[in-house]
Structure 1
Amino acid sequence: MDDTLATDTAQTALPPAPGADQYRSLDFADTAATLPAGQSYDLLATPGSAMRWLAAHDLTTPDVQLYEVCAQRMRALRAHVRVLFAARVDGTTPPEDSLRAVNEALTAVPTAPLLAWDGAQGLRRIQAHPIDRAVNHALATLAADAADLLTGPDAGILAACGSAPCDRFLIRTHGRRHWCSTRCGDRARAARAYARRSGSTG
């Protein structure tokens, strides 16, 4: 996918789902989605689009260059996070390989800010890491966020979008709402209305 197509993909993407402002891992899981009429998008499809997503979520700086191997690692972790979210929503046992993948991302880098001395600012804590490990830190942050969501107070209101074929996740904010966006909610209501009309005329 070239950058033009990646830009088109970003423009057709659904808006962030409820809860994405609280949990970056939720927005990370939702960077790929299935849309009606056999369409889909992937905001991590290219190194350039993956870098822009990381920078937009304060997980790296725009000057960091990502390579395809980095984008592949992001997509792989996303797949495992999605599996863990789905298992939590469905109340099933999560697969060992997905648990292992998230734990490996969690422990790949030191997470505690280091103590450093700066002549102008004095002692301060910094997240020091070489540029070539920037993706490791981003993945560790996302894995920690996913673990916090899955084990925290909002785990019980983690839900899957109820408007097929959408396969995004959300945090339920209003009672039983299970739609990740207004577009999906409108589609679900239209489908129900059509089913009622068809049933009454059949």
Structure 2
Amino acid sequence: MQDPTNDDARLALDLALTIRHDGHGGVADDLTDPAGLTTWAQAHVAPGFVAGDAELAAVRELRAAIRALFARAVRPGEPSPADAARLMPVRDALDVLNTAAARTPTVPVLHWAEDAEPVVEHTAPSDDLVAVLARATITFLTGPDRQRLRACHAPRCVRYFLKDHPRQEWCKPACGNRARVARHHERHRQGAGS
């Protein structure tokens, strides 16, 4: 594993999206057991990673902190409906995030190509998944993409997403369709009750 850069700071969003709509009106969690975390980590950040119970607990706690901080980041908009009633307090979320990021130290490494300006890269000497995810979250929340972060409020959706264009309201077209159908049904229901 390597220290997150702006290119892979999306890891924070990907981790938050392990809580999702299950397709049947409920919420699904991709990280319910070590096998789920192993599958997710191998696909997103650490190809040889194998999770145990301790790693699962640490990543789930970090994810709760990330979703609480995402809820703060989307203000004055509403948080994801999956989190609205059970958000971790922001102070606690910051403590969890900062403690996780400090689990392994980072080492600044200077790179200076012949025809370029010097660049510093922060590398982590160990393979601590939680620390890598926490540093990716810090990079994300302090970077320009935080301004594009939104919670999708389509019926039954619980995702956060990055707004790609000014008129985007939902995380994906299917959510937009569900929202339009729900509005249509609501208008017709209200019209029939008059």
TM-score band w.r.t. shorter chain:
0.7 to 0.9
> Offset at 1:146?
1.6
CA 1:114 to 1:21, structure 2 compared with 1: closer, same or farther past 3 Å?
A: closer
1:183 is matched with which residue? 174
| Alpha-carbon displacement from aligned partner over 1:52-101 (angstroms, at most 9, x marks no partner) | 111111x2233x33211211111110000000000111249x62110011
2:4 is matched with which residue? none
Counterpart contact for 1:80–1:102, Cα < 8 Å: yes
Cα separation, 1, equivalents of 2:68 and 2:76: 12
2:69 is matched with which residue? 84
1:97 is matched with which residue? 92
Matched residue of 1:180: which SS? coil
1:156 is matched with which residue? 147
Q: For structure 1, which segment, 28-37 or 103-112, has the greater mean C-alpha deviation from structure 2 after superposition?
A: 28-37
- Structure 2: unaligned runs, 5 residues or longer: 1-6, 78-88, 111-121
2:191 pairs with 1:200: yes
Cα separation, 2, equivalents of 1:172 and 1:33: 18
2:139 pairs with 1:138: no
> Offset at 1:147?
1.7
Give the TM-score normalised by the residue count of structure 2.
0.73
Cα separation, 1, equivalents of 2:14 and 2:70: 12
Counterpart contact for 1:44–1:71, Cα < 8 Å: yes
CA RMSD of aligned residues (A): 2.7
CA 1:201 to 1:126, structure 2 compared with 1: closer, same or farther past 3 Å?
A: closer
2:61 pairs with 1:70: no
> Offset at 1:127?
5.3
Percent identical among aligned pairs is 34
Cα separation, 2, equivalents of 1:190 and 1:22: 34
Q: Which amino acid aligns with 1:197?
A: H
> Offset at 1:182?
2.5
Give the TM-score normalised by the residue count of structure 1.
0.71
Cα separation, 2, equivalents of 1:103 and 1:77: 10
- Structure 1: unaligned runs, 5 residues or longer: 1-19, 116-124
CA 1:195 to 1:36, structure 2 compared with 1: closer, same or farther past 3 Å?
A: farther
- Structure holding more helix per residue: 1
The count of aligned residue pairs is 165
> Offset at 1:172?
0.7
1:53 is matched with which residue? 40
- 15, 26, 30: which one aligns with 2:17: 30
Matched residue of 2:156: which SS? coil
